[in-house]
Every structure is written in C-alpha cells, then in structure tokens.
Amino acid sequence: MFGVPDPKKLWRRYVVALGLIFLFLMGSHLSAVLTISGTHSTASDIDNSGRQRMLSQRILYFATEHAKAQDNAFAEDLTAAIDSFETAHIGLLIASNRSDDLKEIYFSDDESIAVNTLSINYIKDARSVLERSPQAADALARMQEVGPYHLLQRLNTAVQEFENYAQKKVDELSFLQSLSIASAVIILFLEALFIFWPAHKITISTLLKLEKKQSELEKAHTDAVDRNKELEETRSHLHHESRHDALTGLANRRYLDTELSARAEELSSSGGKLALLHIDLDRFKQINDSLGHAAGDHVLEHVASVLRKVVSGDDFVARVGGDEFVIACSGEASTEKLSGISRELIYELSKPIKFGDSLCHFGASIGIGIAQAEGLQIDPDKLMVNADIALYRAKEQGRGCHVFFTPDMQQQVDEGKKITDNIREALNNGDFIPYYQPQFDTETMELAGAEVLVRWQSEEGLLEPEKFLPVAEVIGAIPDIDRVMLEQAANDFGQWRDQGLTVPLISVNVSAKRLHHPDFITSLRYCTIPPENLVLELVESIFFEQQDEQFFKILDEVKRLGIATEIDDFGTGHSSIVSLSKISPNGLKIDQQIIEPIADDASARELLKAILDIANSMGITAVAEGVETEAQVRVLKDYGCQRLQGFWLGKPMPADEFFAFVTSYSGSKAA
C-alpha cells in the first residue's frame, strides 16, 4: 500500500488527484465568488448606512430652517432629504438580516434604541415640520433632541456592525484561500505538473480581486470619515444658529440669557456693575405697514450695524424681539459711559435711511438698568425688568431719549399693580356703580333720556372715570366694567318702572373690546331694558378704528334687535362723513370742546352748524354734551340740536337721586 505505485496506473491517481483538485478548486472558486459578492453588497450597505448619518443631519438642518422661514424656501430640500433617507433605510432593513447583531440594532425590543423605530419616528416628525402641522413645533423639538445625538449614535453603531460583518467575510475568504493553497501544495507533491500552475493562476486572480475589494473598503472608510467631519461642521453651524438671530446675526434672547447669567456669576465674586440698555425703535411699525416687511428687515439690519459700530469690544449686543435690542455692559458701566452710548445711538438711529425710492424715518428710545454686585448675586431677570420699566418711561417722555431706572419708577409700577388688583377686586365686590346724567329735549325741555356714567366706590372715596379707566384699559377690564354698568342700569330701570317712572332712553357706553366680546349680543338679547329704550354709545376715537367685517356684522345684529346706537365725543377724533354713512348711527353726541365756545365765537357756531347740517341731512339725532350756560342752550335751540346734556341742566347722580330729580322736575314742569 505504501510502496511505489505502478507507473502505468499512476495516471489513475493523476486523474483522481486532478479531479479532486478540480472539484476542490471549483468549490473554492464558487465560495470565493459568493463571498466577494457578499463583501461588495456589505460595502454598499456600509456606504448607505454612512449616508444615513449625513441625511439625518441634513433633515434636521432643513427642518429647522423650514420652521423658521415664513415661506417654503427649504421645503424642496427637506422633501428630497426625507425621501433619500427613507429609500436608504428600506435597503438597510433588508441588509440587517445578514446577522443577528444587525437585527438587534435595527429591531431591538427596546424601541428607544431600535434604529428602525428611531428612523420611522424621525421621518414622521420631519414630515410634520414640512407640512407645518399644529404639532410641528413639538416635532422639531424632538428632532433636535434625537437627531444630533441618539439617532446619530445608533447609526454609527450600525455602520460599525456592517464593517465588522464585512471583515468577517474577508476573514472567511482568506481562510478559504489558505486552505486551497495548502491542499494544492500537498497535491503538488503528487501532481505538481498538472495542478500547481492552474492553482497558482487561480490564487493570483483571487488575491487581485481581494485587493480590489480591500481598496473599496478603505475608500468607504475614508468617505465615512469625511462625512463625519461634515456632520461635525453641520452640528457646529446648528449650534451657532440656535444662539443667533437669523436676520441681523446678533445674539438672540437665548444667548443673551446665557451671557447675562455668566456675567452675573463672574461679577458676584469679582465685583463691578452690570448694565443693560434696552433699545426700542420708534415708528418701526409705520415703516412695516407703509413700505412692507422688506423695508422693516432693511431697517433692522441697519440698526444691527449701528449697534456693532457704537459698542465697545466687551459689550454684548442681542436682538430680543421684533424691533427690540439689548446691550449688556459689565465692569465700570458708569452712567457717563452709558449716557454717551445712548446719545450716540439715538443720534445715529435718528438719521433716515434709504430703501428703494423711499426714506425710512425712525428713531430709538432707551431704558437703562444698572446692578452693582457688591458681593451679592446679580439677578439678570430683575435687571431686565428694570430696563423695561425705564424704557417705558422713556416712551412716556416723548420717545427719542434715554432714561435710567430709579427706585421711584418701581414704586410707581407697584402702585399701578395695586390699582390693578383693586380694580379686579372692585369688579368682584360690585364697587363700580352707575351715575345717571339727564338729557333733555331742546324744544320742550322734557326729560329725553339719561347717560350711564361709571363711578368707583373705593376706599379713597368716590372716584371718577379718569382716575381708573386708563389702568382698566391697560389690564383689559373695560369690557367687564361695561357689562356691569349695563346690568345695573337694567336693574335701576326696572325699579323706576315699578315706581311709575319710565326713562325714554338709557344711554350705555360700550367700548370696542366689549363690542367684540363673544357674549355681547347675547347680553343684549337678555337685557331687561326694552330695545326701544336702550342706546349704545360708542367712543368715536376708538369706534372708527374698528371697521372690519366682524364690526359691521355686530352692528347689524344690534340693529336687528331694535337697539339704537350713538357716536360719543363726535368731532374730535377720527370720524369722516364716509364712515358716518357706512355705519348709519341713530345719533351722535357733539363733544364738549365744540360746544364750549359757541356762545361767543362765530367760527365755533359755524362748525356746530356744519355738524348739525350733516346730522340732519342723514336723519341722525344730534345730542350736545357739556352744556354749561343758558346762552349755549339758546344757540343750540336756534341751530336745531335735538337733545341737551350738561351740568347746567343736571349733574350725574346715583339712581335714587336721579329718581327724585326726575320726579321733582316733572312735577315742576306740570305745575
């Protein structure tokens, strides 16, 4: 068995050996082809997974820009990124079946780390931002939380697993080639002439293919490194964008808050001052309204350049609102320095700038708050409030100036808050009471009606409207006061009627906000004052600024209820004959400023006559208010004014006194 074989029979061994090596080589070649094909597919998967990481950040970037933009400039880019992400994701889901580790990465039972779940939710949120759905803001917030960190980390893990899988296949191929070479060498000892050369050629060919695939893998690795660098640059860009205003390039409110906290912390230990200059542009709204938002943006960019030029290197400039800016100064921050900066800013910002063929005229008001550390922690929020209060005072003083915050200002704010609280408490306690001022027919001097005027029975005594209505207007309490006056007037009207007195007309003031209140028409329907006895007085200066579709719809409802309307304070506000024609009120009250000089001033009488002619030509009843003398009564009667109201005829009085006055007056007339 171990002897020298028969030469004549050696060919059989050659044939068997050749057949064996042929079969072995064919099997090895087939395995190599399959492995190389798998390696090529895995390299493609690595490329796709690396591309997924870049696409996830591109989606976040375009989603952020799309959410901030007023138009759809980024919608196309965002849509393309989402579609590419989905396409690559589907391919990688199929490729994840290559190993259990990849399946665990993509389909983990823990959905918070499953790449499939994270990717689906990420795409869903991106489409919500793209479509500007009501949940777009929450979706973008989730994307900003998940995209740059969690999803990116899981995609990195997937790339690494694909690379591990590729390396495993390469190792299997190397092992197969080594086995082929060893087997060939053993057989070459027996059949070197028939086997060595073909095996050598196959080996060389296989090694060349392997080197080519290795080169492809190295290139894929280099591309992945480059893409990681791009992702880092994108993240850095997004970080910068999140802290700066897109239009002006200045720091935004978020960055300002961070900077103020840092400076306050530093000054608490080192000492020194922290000052804030709160800058608000004057007449900016008029520029937006008349020339458009492009002009407004041009102005804001100009303001930003002026601020950069005026402030020193250590100062911090931010845009905190539409036309509001803040400069933070720390260190010395002397009043002289701050006043100098303020004066220079006001001067520079008072210069008109050109936009197209138009000149933009605007200005600036500045409120300044200063905080001294003195070993204590500076409160940036409080400092900002102080600067706001000073800015408000600067606007009160006529704009175009700068004002430093003082403790007196805070005291005034506190007093205003106290009045605010007292007004709300007074509404709850029923401390607002109606006073009634009688109106008389000019020809007969009979009682023609009464106007309801509000008074506040406060701890300080009886307050007239000018003492509290401005604050009530600011805090939005006017509609509630109007509602209370109508309810109490209806109650008094009912009591007078039960006692045998019917007042022909009850005139109740209605503010613009009350007119637009959702329950206004309902309150009129259920009012116990008959419609023919009720008149709604609308302040002219506010009334004529509210002419929109909803305004006329409300007036139509009032007319359908049979309730009359009058324009209060006519002749001193913004009314016009066209507006008067559109609204068609039942009456108008001529303001006291017009009535006062008519007895002695011919031009005042001419103005009165013109107003009465307009009213008469339109069938509108004219009511003169502020009648103080008998001479005024004679002029108004001669000129044809229908109703009179004023102190000479009767002062405002509470319900019981009004009843006594009217009863006594009617008796004296009858006598």
Whether pTM > 0.75 for this model: the answer is no
pLDDT score at 668: 56
pLDDT of residue 318: 95
Spatial separation of the C-alpha atoms in residues 79 and 84, rounded to whole Å:
9
Bridge partners of 236, per DSSP, are none
Q: How far apart are CA 524 and CA 501, in angstroms?
A: 22
What is the separation, in whole angstroms, between the first and last Cα of the chain? 161
Q: How far apart are CA 519 and CA 391, in angstroms?
A: 37
Place of tokens 């001052």: 273
Evaluate whether 568 touches 544 at the Cβ level (below 8 Å). no
State the pairing for strand pair 273-282/363-372. antiparallel
Q: Which residues contact 617 (CB under 8 A, 6 or more apart)?
A: none
CA-CA distance, 22 to 29, in Å (whole number)? 10
pLDDT of residue 375: 59
Q: b or e along 650-663 (b: 16 or more beta carbons within 10 Å of the residue's beta carbon)?
A: bebbebeebbebbe
* pLDDT at position 1: 46
Whole-angstrom Cα Rg for the chain: 43
Tell me if 508 sits within 8 A of 485, measured CB to CB. Answer: yes
Partner residues linked to 510 by β-bridges: 538
What is the predicted pLDDT for the residue at 540?
Answer: 53
Task: Give the 3-state secondary structure of residue 374.
Answer: coil
Q: Which ranges of 271-292 does DSSP label H, i.e. alpha helix?
A: 284-291
What would the 3-class secondary structure string for 604-641 be? HHHHHHHHHHHHHHCCCEEEEECCCCHHHHHHHHHHCC
* Cα–chain center distance at 486: 37
Neighbouring CB atoms inside 10 A of 459's CB total 8
Residue the block writes with tokens 């005027």 = 453
pLDDT digits (tens, 9 = 90+) for 465-480: 988 887 888 678 999 9
Instruction: Identify the segments of the chain with pLDDT beneath 50.
Output: 1-4, 541, 544-545, 670-671
Classify 331 as helix, strand or coil: strand
What does the alpha-carbon distance between residue 442 and residue 580 come to, in Å, rounded to a whole number?
A: 23
CB 261 within 8 A of CB 380: yes
What's the confidence (pLDDT) of residue 91?
84
- Residue whose token pair is 């509001």: 324
DSSP letters of 289-305?
HHH-HHHHHHHHHHHHH
The overall longest dimension of the chain from CA atoms, in Å, is 165
Q: Give tens-digit pLDDT for 2-55.
A: 444 555 555 565 576 667 667 766 766 676 666 666 666 777 777 787 788 888
| CA–CA gap between residue 273 and residue 89 (Å, rounded) | 56
Tens of pLDDT, residue by residue over 156-203, are 888 888 888 878 877 777 787 777 777 767 766 666 665 555 555 666
310-326 tens-digit pLDDT: 888 788 999 988 899 99
